[in-house]
Structure 1
Amino acid sequence: MSTTTTSQTPESEGPGRPGRLIQNEATTEIPVHLLFRDDPDPVSVPLRPTVVGRRQGTGEQPRFRRPAATPRPVPQVDPELGERPARVLPGAAGVLAGACGAAGCVATSWWAGVLPPLAAAALRLPAYAGAGLGPAQWAAYAGAGALGVVGFGGLTRGRAGRAWVLGLFGRYRGTVRRTGLLWVNPLVLRRRVDVRLRHWRSEPMPAADGNGVALRVTVLVVWRVRDTARAVLGIEDHETYLRECVEAALARVPVETPDGTRGPAEAAGDALTRLVSADAAPVGLEVFSVQPVRIEYAPEMAAAMNRRRIAALDAQHRASVLTSVVDSVEDTVTRLTVRGLVDLDDYERKALVKDLTVAFCVGRGEQVP
């Protein structure tokens, strides 16, 4: 009696289909009918991207697409807020108005009969008994006094390099850049602004070099106020804003280290100038230059970086001395053998090279290892 053994194929695998090489492989199958379609308009067929899972056990990590960098928002100020000239009069108009008011007060006093005799004699006014202080006299006093106060109270002096920002009841009324004696409405609020070319030397600010080493940097900023309306009304304090812009730029730009291992300081200064100018322009500030004038390591890094710098200088010095000694030994041995002064085999050549190396190192004051 014979026994026949029949091998059965698992239902999960077909008779002609090979087994999987990687048992834990995870893939997504795409139906064949989606690859060959007779649809004349392929745009109308929505295709979804197929996501293939990572293969477990192979060390492959899922890949993520880095999101596109969004542009940094630019500070915006009220677009309608911009510097414009204010309406002012020459100072002569204010002096004339004040003089007229004072003359009106004197005339009213003479009319009311309260002008002292000495003042009347000095002014060469005729004697007049006066009508007394009645309603008409008080009204004349009020009008003449108001004219004198407005005339003399609106006088101001405009200086070169200084400007006045005028506001009335919270509304911007213009900027005065004229010089000399001027008359400005005494009811408006005046804010003085320095529009000269200015420079500011900062205190040591935190920064870092290209390797992330902490630094302390002192910068020199050359700037001026270009738009007085935006600088005074568009921001609370433009000087504080400029200082914070410089500090923010130092946090983004790598600065040259004190030992000069990074790029030139001019490159860092140009990058700082571009960043600070872009941030300060919307508020009416014009920045011409932002240059580092003093760079030093942070206190917590100064000792370690000083030791590292000394070690690098010592290694560089030793390398240069060793190169010089090797060149001298090679030149000496070559001259002795070429001129036929000595005839050396390999052992004697090695001994001579060793003795010359020791002699040259001792002569240069170096320790022989």
Structure 2
Amino acid sequence: MRVAVVAGGAALPPGRPAGDTAPLSPARLRGAAGQDPDAASPGLDIPHPADDEAARRRGIVAQAVARGMPEDPADDTPDPPRTGPARGISVTDVPVHLPFLGEPRPAPDTTGPAAGPRRTEPAPAPRPTPRPAPGRRVPRGDDRLHEHHGPVLPGWVGVGVGALALAGCLAVLWRAGVVPAAFVAAFGATPRAYHGLRATHWPPLAFLGIVALLALGGLGRGKAGHAWVLTLFGRYRGTVRRTGLTWVSPLLLRRRVDVRLRHWRSDPMPAVDAGGLALQVVVQVVWQVKDTARATLAVADHTEYLAEQVESAMARVLSQLPADAFHEDAPTLRDAEAVGDALTRMLACETEAVGIEVYSAQPTRIEYAPEVAEAMRRRRVAAIDAKHRDTVLTSIVDAVDDTVHRLTSRGLVELDDYERKALVKDLTVAFYTGRPE
């Protein structure tokens, strides 16, 4: 779709709107200039009014054709010759979307015959569903179970409320005359005669007694390095790490947990190396309870769980390397630092689900089992002796080569092949037999 915009040397007539794009008929030109429609305008070639009527009919026919309607067969009036634009006026075609920059540009029509066969885009291939990485699953525990602060008050609150409740009970008993006269006189009060406990005395006594029982029964002593895990009818209610005199509701069940930094040394545990040789290992673990809720409620006994995980992790780590490499330079279990780092990482990952933080897990002793210890000792001695002999022989050969080279290079002796071999043999025997044991 195109819009005709008039531009040129002649200005638009006064009174014509800027957005009016209708053709300028002679009548409109004369009306815009303020002249009589029947008067002739100088300088312009204005057609006869019959021409305007013919132009109007042509516009009606063009609109009918554009809408798919047939032309009027009764209209046999010959079309007058078309006239060009007025002198001094130029017409320029401007795309229709330019005046409306804020609106999206209409997409070109690609369904017509001139557009050719429409290109079909291939559908994107579906993405493969990610699968979990193969390997052993690490326990994660209950994500909803995390340590948070439990309901606790300073101890002086419980002491004060309990004292006031006991004082109220004493006042009720004094009014009933139950308190002995000697005790009342000690406080400077007037003793009252005992007439028995009436029905009006029992409700305040019961209420004040319950308050005193709750206030004094909830007092506790928080120790440094320990925490209380609070539960109510099996539901976790929070953890109290406050020290000193505290008050916790006596309706809550308390379980004390040690949160200090602790170490655990295992007994000699059986294991095997990469070659299948039986070993005995002693491991020392430094650990601490980080999440008291998980350590208490996520497992039956967190210390027993730690001991079992230490044995399991140690068996997996030690089975990846040989205990000794007698005749080659290769990583072995004698590298205590590397073995300890691997054991610490694996054990920390295993115990995170129960709220235990492992700082260090180091093997303090790795030795062969008694049934293979003697055979491995002989093998180790033989390997050490072979390595020593190889070192000694290398030094002797270097000494003999240096001696023969010096004798011949300085011209002290002249040797042929037979004499050179005999001299090398004699020097080797002399150096080898004369070495210190």
TM-score calculated relative to the size of structure 2: 0.63
Q: 2:420, 2:147 → 1: CA distance?
A: 87
Deviations 1:30-66 (A, max 9, x none): xxxxxxxxxxxxxxxxxxxxxxxxxxxxxxxxxxxxx
Confirm or deny that 1:159 pairs with 2:206.
no
Runs (5+) with no aligned partner, structure 1? 1-67
Q: How does 1:25-36 map to 2 (within 5 A)?
A: none
Q: 1:209, 1:265 → 2: CA distance?
A: 14
Given the superposition, is the C-alpha separation of residues 321 and 256 from structure 1 closer, same or farther in structure 2, using an over 3 Å criterion? same
Contact 2:140–2:352 at 8 Å: present in 1 too?
no
Residue aligning to 2:154? 90
Deviations 1:57-109 (A, max 9, x none): xxxxxxxxxxx984322324333222222112221211012212322332233
Q: How does 1:292-331 map to 2 (within 5 A)?
A: 292-331=363-402
Q: Please, which of 271, 291, 297 is the counterpart of residue 207 of structure 1?
A: 271
Give the match's secondary structure for 2:144: coil
Give the match's secondary structure for 1:212: coil
Q: Please, which of 390, 400, 403 is the counterpart of residue 332 of structure 1?
A: 403
Q: After TM superposition, give the deviation of residue 269 of structure 1 in Å.
A: 2.1
Q: After TM superposition, give the deviation of residue 256 of structure 1 in Å.
A: 6.8
Q: 1:79, 1:340 → 2: CA distance?
A: 88
Residue aligning to 2:298? 234
Contact 2:286–2:360 at 8 Å: present in 1 too?
yes
Aligned residue identity for 1:185:
S
Moved more, 183-192 or 262-271: 262-271
Q: After TM superposition, give the deviation of residue 313 of structure 1 in Å.
A: 0.6
Aligned residue identity for 1:227:
D
Confirm or deny that 1:171 pairs with 2:242.
no
Contact 1:215–1:295 at 8 Å: present in 2 too?
yes
Give the match's secondary structure for 1:163: strand
Aligned residue identity for 2:169:
C
Moved more, 177-186 or 308-317: 177-186
Moved more, 156-165 or 182-191: 156-165
Give the match's secondary structure for 2:331: coil
Q: CA RMSD in A?
A: 2.5
Q: 2:365, 2:331 → 1: CA distance?
A: 15
Q: 1:307, 1:120 → 2: CA distance?
A: 93
Give the match's secondary structure for 2:358: strand
Residue aligning to 2:20? none
Aligned residues: 299
Residue aligning to 1:288? 359
Give the match's secondary structure for 1:253: helix
Given the superposition, is the C-alpha separation of residues 365 and 171 from structure 1 closer, same or farther in structure 2, using an over 3 Å criterion? same
Residue aligning to 2:183? 119
Q: 2:169, 2:143 → 1: CA distance?
A: 48
Q: 1:323, 1:72 → 2: CA distance?
A: 50
Residue aligning to 1:257? 323
Aligned residue identity for 2:347:
V
Give the match's secondary structure for 2:267: coil
Contact 1:206–1:250 at 8 Å: present in 2 too?
no
Aligned residue identity for 2:299:
I
Given the superposition, is the C-alpha separation of residues 282 and 199 from structure 1 closer, same or farther in structure 2, using an over 3 Å criterion? same
Q: After TM superposition, give the deviation of residue 231 of structure 1 in Å.
A: 1.2
Contact 2:177–2:191 at 8 Å: present in 1 too?
no
Contact 1:111–1:131 at 8 Å: present in 2 too?
no
Deviations 1:170-222 (A, max 9, x none): 22111112233211011211001122232222222233333333222222222
Q: 2:186, 2:234 → 1: CA distance?
A: 47
Q: 1:256, 1:194 → 2: CA distance?
A: 38
Given the superposition, is the C-alpha separation of residues 256 and 198 from structure 1 closer, same or farther in structure 2, using an over 3 Å criterion? farther
The higher-RCO structure (CA 8 Å, 6+ apart) is: 1
Give the match's secondary structure for 2:374: helix
Q: How does 1:35-114 map to 2 (within 5 A)?
A: 70-114=134-178
Contact 1:155–1:183 at 8 Å: present in 2 too?
yes
Give the match's secondary structure for 1:114: coil
- Larger radius of gyration between Structure 1 and Structure 2: 2
Confirm or deny that 1:144 pairs with 2:203.
no
Deviations 1:89-144 (A, max 9, x none): 22121101221232233223323323233322222221211332344445444333
TM-score calculated relative to the size of structure 1: 0.73
Contact 1:81–1:230 at 8 Å: present in 2 too?
yes
Give the match's secondary structure for 2:270: strand
Give the match's secondary structure for 2:206: helix
Q: 1:147, 1:261 → 2: CA distance?
A: 74
Aligned residue identity for 2:323:
T
Contact 1:110–1:130 at 8 Å: present in 2 too?
no
Q: After TM superposition, give the deviation of residue 319 of structure 1 in Å.
A: 0.5
Confirm or deny that 1:198 pairs with 2:257.
no
Q: After TM superposition, give the deviation of residue 156 of structure 1 in Å.
A: 1.1
Given the superposition, is the C-alpha separation of residues 69 and 90 from structure 1 closer, same or farther in structure 2, using an over 3 Å criterion? closer
